[in-house]
Structure formats: structure tokens, C-alpha cells
Structure 1
């Protein structure tokens, strides 16, 4: 394909409201004319183009966060208020949202003890992911993608920018038995590229329990749908056992403009969330859970064909 001869920008470098890189109608002010990145949905926008500019101007300058609209600000604040809060699912089990607190990150609602606890649980979640998945190493930079996702590391390269990822964990007492990485792109959708369960807890319905907790929390935040990558061998499991369905053509176009983590050899599945009941139901372990909990090894085998079974999630 030929590139346009005039000045042009891709969707990731253009304002979500005016679809332009520069705001020609804005006053002569670098602050309102420059592109900002929303701290929640991560889409680019001109402050002057936001329909809620006056309401957001004072909020966006606090703690180094910027928001394109009120819905993103409210979603961000609700997520911060949920950090490290235990959500009981059923006897002995609870779900919790955690996120790594970096030194240069804006202030959060957590105090020092809370940030230390979150970071320690993040380390445990990474060891769980390493137990479940073969490593994914970016060939150009040598970066371990799973580690950077778990630690929500940023990057100037869009494909390696994993800011905004939260880790949802399933706890049995004080032990973390399952973990999933989730990034919320405004109220439109959330992505979940990784979900895994420790070997000793396989075939006991842990994946389903954690997924129930994730859906309950996301629906309470008014997130419309959850999107996951799935290899062909597990599409039937995700659709028949967990209620996912293939992404429709119109949704595929929408997803193309969003920075999502996808893998070769996988397709995207979606599940609507807003009709999800407020509380999860108890589900016994099933063969479907076991299949879903092994999806990581199958994806990683395709990406790391030279790697042996070390770190795989086969039962």
C-alpha cells in the first residue's frame, strides 16, 4: 500500500474526538493543543476537544493523571479504591485486585503498608504465572512480556507499553491459587491475556471462581465486555463452558484502534458483562476449567517452539 503524500497520523497519534494530531481551533496554548494520553483508557486527546474540559481541568492536574472524560476519571478512581480490597466469593475464597506501585507513579489511595503488601503479592503472582506459562521474550528487546504485564511496565513502544494492567487474584485463606492480568480500556471493554492456576489446584474449579470474581467486579464498574485471546483448540471450551463468543466484525474494527496484547495463532473472544449478576455462583471443578487452565502452555508452545515443557501448564 502507498503512504499518503500529505501530513498524516495513525489513530494512535490522533485525538479521539477530532481525529487530528493538532487542534487547529484551540487557542494559542501548548497545553490545550498538545495530545494527552488518558490515564484510564490510554486514548489520545486534546484537552480543548473534550466535551467536559472545564470539569476535568482541575482533576487532571492532580497526582499527574489525565482523563479524557468524566467516565474515565470515575472508573480510575473506583479502581484505585478497590486496590487490595478483599471481595469474598464463597466460603474460603476471595478475589482481590492488586497493582505494582512504581516509585515514579502518581499517588494512589494506598498508604505505604498497602503498597508494600500489593507489591509482595505481585511477586507471588509473577511466580504463579511463571509456573503456568512458558516465557514470552520480545525478539527485538529481550523483554520478558509476562513479567512486564504483571508489573504494568510502561514503554515508548506501543506494543510493549503495558501500563494500566491490574492483577486479579483468587485467594484461599492467605494463599494465592489463581491469577489473571486485566487491562480496562474505559467502559467499552477489558482485556485478559493471561489467567493461570497453580498445578496443585487444577481441576477444582479455580479458574471459574476467579473468572466469576473478575466479571462481578468489571460489571460493577460498568465495563461492557471482556475480551480474551484463545487458540483454536480452546475456542470450544471458552464458548461452551464460560459463555464467550467470537468477536464480531464491527467489534474487530474497534479493537484495532486499541492497544491490546495479542499473540500469533490466537483469535479474540468476547463476553458481555453488564447483564452479569451481582454475586458469583458456586461452581464445582470441571473438565472445562482444567482445559482453560492449560491454555497458556498451548499458546506459549507456538511462540516458543524450541522451548521444552519447562514452565508449561499441562496437567
Structure 2
């Protein structure tokens, strides 16, 4: 297989097919077309024909093409069947820069009706892989140790030892992909098991397993080294994930293009029918997320909104004072404010659960993770650093599992990998790309990560689980069932009423027949417009009532 870095440029596909060489040269145009196909899940390789190497193009559906032009034609035909072909002139339309009505005079605002802007683009998709990627090490375990090997932080068969509090070796061994092979009995142990085998109960194996190469580095040091080197470009990541336009170009409810109305306070945009409206509203208009949860009125000029730290719903201070059930003194500072005791208790419960493995039988452990959940302010500073490094390592392994099970899914405007942003809880000024509330759930069998899910709790009414993945080598063994059951048990304990997920069509029957979900109705969706959910093209929203 040939690795081609994905880059969204649908215009290049259309221009190459129609023989347009308006770019600098045809080579640049063909490269951009290949990059776009790669971003959409296409694969490329060379095949021998009459002694020559010829390039082949394989679509996500598995169909092989012998030229870039036929591959582009197939891509265009698929978009035409989906009703998503761009205009024939092939020139991308820039969103109209419209003035916000709040900048007009009151007379103008009452006379002028808000006009929706028309956008035609493609939204992000959620495509399940039918088989692991050709370059995937599908048969290898996915552990923190194998992740360190893959990132060249440690070497296979490198000598290590477990040290006691005095720094003296208690047990020696060698690194393998499956764990640490002990020198005395030649058995292979997971990191935790090797610590127990050495007779220690410190519960900090990575911090006390030392490379026997004279460097004195622990496995925790190696984890921090990889994490630190990967965070060098973190400012760029934050910049790329923020939205630069005045208003969004995709509906925040269905994630599709079309005629959109824009909120006059935030960048979000919506279809009229997705909001349950019969016509475009007059004057200033604010989206459900920017309206008070009590009076339903939008943004006030004095900025007197308080935002709940968990559900992120907004409330006017004046409306809260009129509510007898709300005592502002009990909700701490505006930056750490909760709209109810329920939201406060749910967040507290999630934080207490985060990072603490739960044994669920058959050598399985269930763990809730959150990016940067561990801080350096722990009573034991070194322990805090070690825990934070291991937390980020496990999130990286979880991301590898997601990439093994799902085709690449990038936002059409920012170019960001949506799965990566969700796993690492990255934020954005744009609500539909703001993932800072997400947690990652992992299921491990003897340190081997077998199943992953992402979850975000929007208060006691609803939680969402947009991504669930089980590695190919562990499927049909009930692993996903164990992961979801434990998640539902904890959500029920927190008082969450409903769990929703966007299911791909092929998996709907599994979720409805085996997991107790049902199709979410339009009325149910309209009742939850205050919340922004992660959705994908072609998925079916399902929900389950939690007892």
C-alpha cells in the first residue's frame, strides 16, 4: 500500500475529471485529487503489468480502478447518487458575510427578515471498517508497553528491572510486546503482574520498572518523553480546531448543508425544520444553546448569563433569583457554577470514577479516562506526573483502536481528525466541534485494550455515546456488552435518564435487538435542542431509557 496524506480538496477531483488544469500544473492537481480521495478512505498501491508498475485506486467499498480519472468519476457518481454533487462550475462558494442584525437600528431589525444562507458541502461521515487496515498490527496486543515500542521509546528485548524503595533491583526481565519476560522463570507478565511477581504492592509499576541500560529511566519517564514530544505542536492543534468564520456552514443538529439561519450570538447555524420552526424568524435570533433555560430568551447585552459547568445550559441571573428552588450561594463561583445539585453531583461522580480501574471479571478491567484528568497538584507530585503520562498513553492506545475500526473522519472545514479531538477532549468556539466534555471508556484484558467508547454527559436528562469500537481479534466475545453494561450501570447510578448514539445503518439492528436501544423520534430530538450532539452523515440516532 502507498501512504498518501489525506487533505480535503474536492474541487481537485472535479477539475481532474473534467480535464481542467487551472492549477499550477497537472501534477499538482493530480496530487491534490489523490489526497482528497485518501481523506475519503481510498487506498492506493502499485501492481505489475507487462513488467511495469501501475498505480491502482481502491474505493472504501473495495472497488478497484486503473486510472485516477476513472476513480474520480466513481467518486463523483457516488456523490451524485447521494444528491451531494457540488455546482457544475466547480468553484467553491464562499459563505456570504452577513451583518448581524444586532448591529442594525431597531427599525431595520423589525423590517428586515433574516435570510438563510445557502451552503452546499459534505458533512463528516462515520464509516466502519470491514477489515483492519493492511498496515495494521491487528494480531498484536494494544498495551501501553506496545505503544512505547511502536513509538521507539523502548526496544524489544531491552533489559529492565523492578526496583524497591531503596532503588535496588528486586526482579529482572526483558521487554516483549506481550509484557515483561522474567529472567528467573521466563514467564511473561503484564506490568502490574510483574510488580506483584517482584513482591511489591506499590501499585506504580511503570514508575518502578527501570531500563537496565545505565540511563536510570523508568517506563514512566519514557511515557512522558513520548507525550512531551507529541505535544510540541499543541498551539497549532488549538488554532486549527478553532473556527475562524463569522458563522458556521453546517447545521448544528443534522450536520448537513443547505439553507441555514445563523445565531446572532455564537457561530452556530441551523436548518429551519431542524429547529421545528415553520419560517425564518424576524429580527435578532438566538439558537437554543444561547437562550436562558428558564425564560427561553436569548443573550442580554449586560452579559448576565451563568453557564452550568456540566450541561453547559445558560441561565439569566435574574431568572435564577426568581426561582425559589435555586439558591445562587450554593453554586460557588460563576466559573465553577452548576444549574442544579444533580449536575454538580454527576460531575463529582465522574471525576471520582476517572482513572480508577474497575474489575469486571475474566481478567477484564473497565476504566473511565479524561484527557489531562490528572494534574501536577497531587499530594505526591511525582505520582501525579506518572499518572498523567500513563493516562495520555492509554488515550493514545484508545485512539489507535478507533482508527483500526473506523475509516478516517475529518471535519470538512477545519480538516481536523474528529475521533482524535473527541478522544483528547479538545475544545472549540464552535459548539458542534467543542468536545471538551468527552470522556473515554476503555476495557482491558490483562492490559490489552480490547474495546473503547466515548461518552459525554449532558446533565441528568441525557448522555451520548457517539463512538464505540472493539478490536477485530476480540469480536464476538461479548466485550462490547461488558463495556456498555458497566457504563449504563454508572450512568444510572448518577441519575442519567437516557443514553443516545448515532448508529451506522448496518449496526442498527444490533443496537436495537441486543442492547435495548430504539429509534429516536423527531419529537424526542426536538426536546433536546438545547444540547449539541456529535452526529455523522448517514447514521440513525438511537436512544435507550436507563432504569
Do both proteins adopt the same fold according to a TM-score greater than 0.5, normalized to the shorter chain? yes
Shift of 1:107: 8.0
Shift of 1:203: 1.7
Q: Which residue is equivalent to 1:42?
A: 312
Q: 2:536 aligns with which of 263, 268, 285?
A: 263
> Matches of 1:212 and 1:89 in 2, distance apart?
10
Residues 22/159 of structure 1: CA separation in 2 closer, same or farther (3 Å cut): closer
1:56 aligns with 2:56: no
Q: 1:16 aligns with which of 260, 283, 293?
A: 293
* Secondary structure in 2 matching 1:169: strand
Shift of 1:176: 1.5
> Matches of 1:47 and 1:17 in 2, distance apart?
10
> Matches of 1:57 and 1:172 in 2, distance apart?
41
> Matches of 1:54 and 1:257 in 2, distance apart?
22
Q: Which residue is equivalent to 1:219?
A: 492
Residues 220/134 of structure 1: CA separation in 2 closer, same or farther (3 Å cut): same
Residues 197/67 of structure 1: CA separation in 2 closer, same or farther (3 Å cut): same
- Any idea what the Cα deviations from partners look like across 1:4-45, whole Å, max 9, x if unmatched? 333331211111112122469xxxxx5xx5223322112222
Q: Which residue is equivalent to 2:468?
A: 195
Q: Which residue is equivalent to 1:288?
A: none
Alignment root-mean-square deviation, CA: 2.5
Q: Which residue is equivalent to 1:280?
A: none
Find runs of 4+ consecutive structure 1 residues off by over 6 angstroms. Answer: 105-110
Q: 1:83 aligns with which of 354, 358, 366?
A: 354
Shift of 1:138: 0.8
> Matches of 2:436 and 2:510 in 1, distance apart?
30
Q: 1:69 aligns with which of 340, 354, 379?
A: 340
Between stretches 40-49 and 166-175, larger displacement belongs to 40-49
Q: Which residue is equivalent to 2:526?
A: 253
- Any idea what the Cα deviations from partners look like across 1:64-108, whole Å, max 9, x if unmatched? 4332222111111111111111122123112110000179x9989
Q: How does 1:85-124 map to 2 (within 5 A)?
A: 85-101=356-372, 111-124=384-397
Unaligned runs of 5+ in 1: 25-29, 275-315
Higher relative contact order (CA 8 A, sep 6+): 1
TM-score norm. by structure 2 comes to 0.45
Q: Which residue is equivalent to 1:286?
A: none
Q: Which structure's CA Rg is the greater one?
A: 2
> Matches of 1:234 and 1:93 in 2, distance apart?
25
TM-score norm. by structure 1 comes to 0.76
Q: 1:5 aligns with which of 279, 282, 301?
A: 282
Q: 1:208 aligns with which of 481, 493, 503?
A: 481
